[in-house]
Structure 1
Amino acid sequence: MVSANRPGSAPGGGVGRPDAPVFAPGPDGLAHLELVLNGAYPLPGFMTRDETEAVERDGRLPDGRPWPVPVILEVPEELSGADRLTLTDPEGAPLAELGVTECWRDGGGRPRLAGAVTLLRPPTYGVLRELRPSPAEVRAQRELDPSDRPLLAVVTDRPLHHRALHQVRSEADALGRVHGGDGRAEVLVIVDTGLEDEGMATAVLAAKPLLPSRTSFVVCTLPRSADRAGDVLGGPWGTREVALAAHVAAAYGATHMLAVTGADGPDVERVMAQRPPLTVLDPEPWRYDSRDGLWLPLTQVDPAHARTELTDEQVEAELAHGRELPAWFTPARVGAELARLRPARTRRGLTVLFTGLSGSGKSTIARGVCDGVRRSGRSVTLLDGDVVRRMLSSGLTFSREHRELNIRRIGYVASEITRHGGVAVCAPIAPYAKGRAEVRAMVEEFGDFFLVHVATPLEVCEARDRKGLYAKARAGEIPEFTGISDPYEEPDDADLVVDTEGMDPSESVARVLAALRAGGWLPEQDG
């Protein structure tokens, strides 16, 4: 039987109506869909305009139920008139059928579809699928235990270091005493990670032996794709994101929640103002007592000897340079897993993207940098603009659409090289900020990204004009030529800016290699 608030299975195992358009939602849409389908959301599907506006304005659905975030499905324009959609995972496997009840547009005119979803097939896509039981399965397992202990949900997307571990054990003990139980509350660690990337999940799991004995783990993906982008040790959490986590934790049967979101933690008062369905705890701060070598509540530590844990930036710097994390800060097993996930930069995959006008010197510098990287002992692949055009993007024109496609192809190949620990050196013009951002996002899913802006002035590039391209562009023989009839969007996020005017190419190469060496991606030179 299908309840009013839960999607049901389509008759016959469900492949969707054959005439329904097929659509794979983006990361947040897919995360929302899975949480609707597995019952973590008490919602039938995606929200209408009225529902979305009510949630954004009041933190409530139109029927008065508290709910912190809009659950929306963004679709391309060509699907705005659909009355039914088959929703799939990124690999094309059908997940659900959406019966469209409304098409509405946001403030930017982008179409959104609302309606209930019906389960077609259980999802198989996504990392750590074996750790993604439904909330109903978790609740059923707990019902086998008649002790009726409180359940403390620990929601995190970052490793559990000593401070967090002490807080979890302390709060579990306190809940057990308050509720008259025979010991600690049970603990459910909800690991928030992406569908395609494990993130810090294995580092969280490494802390299992250090948590209370009655601790279990589940993995889920909360819709925070924008916050995850480029982040290493856990993305930022807003008040509404923590409140959403509380709703999901309650669906798993949790009575209380502790959100491990960083050194400061969430503003619990503001979270509780969102009226979550459980109690969000505001644990006492803990500090490391450097005199006694113990982690203790702040009130029990002499301020002269109180030491705060390392910041995310400090942790990243230690890992980047191959240094072991200190034992007072994190357990050895967590530190070892972090070192595996974030190896020293000399062992990480890296993409170096050169961007600049035609004739700026990108290719010459890139070839010299490749030689230097190779001499350092690292595996390196050069993806030069002209060579890529012949081998990878043959048949593409120089229209904006095709140039963006060319950059995406370069980004995909570079991300695969990076994934396997190599160094990719890319030297396209890459004139558009959006395309460069897409390459960065693809690469940083697996490794590091370093952007070099070869900022040689247009008049210098045109004076060189080794290929005669600028002359043809000025004569109108080449349409949409970057710098002449098509814009070049100068990057504001370059890691290094090089102007080759009046500079020998070897000097430019040396500057780039020095920056890579200082950043830890190349070993220091002997002597």
Structure 2
Amino acid sequence: MTVGRAEVGLDANHQGQVPQDTAPVFTPDPVTLAHLELILNGAYPLTGFMTSEESASTIKHGRLPDGTAWPVPVTLPVPDELAGAERLVLADPEGAPLAELRVGQHWWSDHRDHEYGHRLAGEVRFARPPMYGVLRHLRLAPTEIRGQRDIGGFADRPLLAVLAERPLHHRSLHQIRAAAEEIGGDGRAEVLVLIDTPLDDEGLTPAILAAEPLLPPRTRFVVTTLPTSGRRDGHPLPAGRHDLLAAHVARAYGATHLLIDRAPGDPAATCEEHGHAPIPILPAAEWRYDTREELWRRADQVPDDRAETEPGDAEVEEMLALGRELPSWFTPARVATELHRLCPARTRRGLTVFLTGLSGSGKSTIARGVAEGVRRAGRTVTLLDGDVVRRLLSSGLTFSRADRDLNIRRIGYVAAEITRHGGVAVCAPIAPYAATRAQVRAMVEENGDFFLVHVATPLEVCEERDRKGLYAKARAGEIPEFTGISDPYEEPTDADLVVDTRDAAEGESVAEVLSALRAGGWLPDHHDHRNHPSHVEHHDHR
């Protein structure tokens, strides 16, 4: 989020004009940005952000104070310095103004899950079309879709909106076609697929689009971002509210019915929870794959002993990670191909192997062996370990807690860049603080995979080894803030693997890590050492 000041003016037609005065510029959080776009493009029947009374009524009753049904609060949290603003320019993350808010109420939320307690309410006035966000060419406004249907002469036909957050596999495609036939009667129903994805991430959208030839004729696709916060202002929303929000947005696009594509096993909301829906939310007909007939049929026509169990999303993700083919009975070839492109096998993904443990735990020795094993498996690897890295990457830093944290973040940044380019980074710093390790994990996982190894050798064993005499100096007070003696080591609770070198030979610990990487799919099961050139870049850091 950013706060600043810029000269922004709006004319009577709500278009950007030569500035006349100044107003604070604020970039809202992603949830609020999603609300703002849906207000501005007409998908919401709202003119701006809610007052305290409107928000409370929506949370409690699912209605505005005037009785209008509406499922979720739409509020604008702002930092303290903007709490008294009378005007506010709302901008995207790149600083481009989207709208001007004329503040009608300043209010405070006592119970919240947001860092800001202050709220501003009031109407928003359009400034300029949004440019920020992925798949902008598919983020069509409701008026555009309704206009296309009018021009095509199909405006009087039923329109089935399908909310999709995941690829459309065979079961989902059968459900969509069955629902379209049901509401269309003579086959005249059209389909609009609303793809729900974040503003800055296309996610699995290409895999959803890959199913287009298998959907009814004239199926249209629109990308939108429905706010995903199940709690706002600290209040849990009743079940089914997200479905109701989708129904309101679908109606704005001209839909007469809504079908929500759900993962296997996901429970559907009850009829009571859908009671305020502006259009019918259809229950999805159940389909099962008949192994004897080798086709999909309605569930009541397939005996249990002939029904194939459909893999869930987590199982599909694991199959893709391990490079396994998705069953043809489960998903169309076009969708499978796109999924394999979007979610390559782990042997082709960047990876950071991050070993953490006390000084003398053996992590550096293990890291060197792991790097060599990764190299022999045919992957490009960089070893970040020991004094060389501290001298070259973090020259000038002290051993204070702040500087040690900065040192780890720098290592994390380098590892994240290696990972982003498809390489393997093996890091072995002490990294005693959980918060800093979490920051490194977050940096890496933006573009690749992170594997945390806790080398959990006990302190007394590390002290016995004490090859450099560091523990003795720390005990004597010669080294301040020494991890394990005068400064804490926060043991990981999120380690992917825990090894203890106390009674293990060096080769055993290395083999344990390599075996875990191989089982996870990051290393191939079989490799010929003779066919893989060396790719190790060796740097030291402790």
TM-score range, shorter chain: 0.7 to 0.9
C-alpha distance after superposition, 1:371-427 (max 9, x if no partner):
211121112233447555555555666666665555555444433433332222233
- Determine the C-alpha separation between the residues in 1 that align with 2:483 and 2:35: 40
Alpha-carbon spacing, 1:438–1:31, altered in 2? closer, same or farther (3 Å): farther
Alpha-carbon spacing, 1:247–1:515, altered in 2? closer, same or farther (3 Å): same
> What amino acid sits opposite 2:39 in the alignment?
V
Counterpart for residue 352 of structure 2: 351
Counterpart for residue 46 of structure 1: 49
- Determine the C-alpha separation between the residues in 1 that align with 2:142 and 2:195: 14
Counterpart for residue 69 of structure 1: 72
The alignment status of 1:96 with 2:99, answered yes or no, reads: yes
Alpha-carbon spacing, 1:67–1:169, altered in 2? closer, same or farther (3 Å): same
- Determine the C-alpha separation between the residues in 1 that align with 2:83 and 2:144: 36
Q: How much has 1:282 moved relative to structure 2? A: 0.3
Q: How much has 1:154 moved relative to structure 2? A: 0.8
The alignment status of 1:421 with 2:422, answered yes or no, reads: yes
C-alpha distance after superposition, 1:499-526 (max 9, x if no partner):
2334333332221111001111101245
> What amino acid sits opposite 1:255 in the alignment?
T
Which range moved further: 122-131 or 110-119? 110-119
Q: Which residues of 2 match residues 31-430 of structure 1 at below 5 A?
A: 31-76=34-79, 79-80=82-83, 82-100=85-103, 101-107=105-111, 110-116=116-122, 117-147=124-154, 148-177=156-185, 182-224=186-228, 239-269=240-270, 272-273=273-274, 275-384=276-385, 389-392=390-393, 407-430=408-431
**Residue aligned with 2:265, SS:** coil
Are the aligned partners of 2:247 and 2:277 in contact in 1 as well (CA < 8 Å)?
A: yes
Q: How much has 1:104 moved relative to structure 2? A: 1.8
**Residue aligned with 2:450, SS:** strand
Are the aligned partners of 2:377 and 2:527 in contact in 1 as well (CA < 8 Å)?
A: no
Are the aligned partners of 1:84 and 1:97 in contact in 2 as well (CA < 8 Å)?
A: yes
Are the aligned partners of 2:170 and 2:332 in contact in 1 as well (CA < 8 Å)?
A: yes
Alpha-carbon spacing, 1:342–1:271, altered in 2? closer, same or farther (3 Å): farther
> What amino acid sits opposite 1:345 in the alignment?
R
* Identical pairs, percent: 65
Q: How much has 1:211 moved relative to structure 2? A: 0.3
Are the aligned partners of 1:16 and 1:94 in contact in 2 as well (CA < 8 Å)?
A: no
Which range moved further: 334-343 or 8-17? 8-17
Which range moved further: 387-396 or 162-171? 387-396
- Determine the C-alpha separation between the residues in 1 that align with 2:72 and 2:181: 32
Are the aligned partners of 1:16 and 1:86 in contact in 2 as well (CA < 8 Å)?
A: no
- Determine the C-alpha separation between the residues in 2 that align with 1:361 and 1:398: 21
Counterpart for residue 490 of structure 2: 489
C-alpha distance after superposition, 1:433-453 (max 9, x if no partner):
344334334433433221212
**Residue aligned with 1:280, SS:** coil
Q: How much has 1:306 moved relative to structure 2? A: 1.9
Counterpart for residue 230 of structure 1: none
Name structure 1 gaps, 5 residues minimum: 1-6, 228-236
The alignment status of 1:513 with 2:517, answered yes or no, reads: no
Q: How much has 1:474 moved relative to structure 2? A: 5.4
Structure exhibiting the larger radius of gyration computed from Cα positions: 2
Are the aligned partners of 1:454 and 1:497 in contact in 2 as well (CA < 8 Å)?
A: yes
Alpha-carbon spacing, 1:443–1:280, altered in 2? closer, same or farther (3 Å): farther
Q: TM-score, normalised by structure 2?
A: 0.83
Counterpart for residue 235 of structure 2: none
> What amino acid sits opposite 1:351 in the alignment?
T
Alpha-carbon spacing, 1:168–1:401, altered in 2? closer, same or farther (3 Å): farther
Name structure 2 gaps, 5 residues minimum: 1-10, 232-237, 529-542
- Determine the C-alpha separation between the residues in 2 that align with 1:28 and 1:276: 22
> What amino acid sits opposite 1:111 in the alignment?
G
**Residue aligned with 2:426, SS:** strand
Please provide the CA RMSD for this pair.
3.2
- Determine the C-alpha separation between the residues in 1 that align with 2:200 and 2:467: 44
**Residue aligned with 1:269, SS:** coil
Q: TM-score, normalised by structure 1?
A: 0.85
> What amino acid sits opposite 2:63 in the alignment?
R
- Determine the C-alpha separation between the residues in 2 that align with 1:15 and 1:461: 66
Alpha-carbon spacing, 1:324–1:238, altered in 2? closer, same or farther (3 Å): farther
Q: How many residues align?
A: 507
Are the aligned partners of 1:46 and 1:114 in contact in 2 as well (CA < 8 Å)?
A: yes
Alpha-carbon spacing, 1:520–1:14, altered in 2? closer, same or farther (3 Å): farther
> What amino acid sits opposite 1:56 in the alignment?
I
Q: How much has 1:287 moved relative to structure 2? A: 0.4
**Residue aligned with 2:43, SS:** coil
Q: How much has 1:331 moved relative to structure 2? A: 0.6
C-alpha distance after superposition, 1:144-197 (max 9, x if no partner):
2434111111111111000000110110011101xxxx5241111111112222
